[in-house]
Amino acid sequence: MQACQDKVLLTEFFFSGLINDLSDQELLAIISVFVTTEKAGGSVADCSKHYSEKFTEAFEFMEAQANALI
């Protein structure tokens, strides 16, 4: 079932237009959520220092869409 949800989330993300404003590294970070189950070290606050405002917007969009599906 999760693969189906992932497809819906990724489709919503790609059609949202948010992908256009992300750097390659930021896009890779978003997409990596769907292919790995490992947890990164460090806190969210530490990680957010390394990404742009557009990345944060894209991440929040993905989170909201996931919550809507649940």
Closest C-alpha among 69, 61, 56 to residue 13: 61
pLDDT tens for the chain, 70 residues long, are 467 788 888 888 889 988 898 989 888 888 887 776 666 565 556 655 677 888 888 888 888 888 887 7
- pTM here is 0.59
Tell me the domain boundaries of the chain: 2-69
39 φ/ψ sector (left φ>0, alpha ψ -120 to 50, else beta): beta
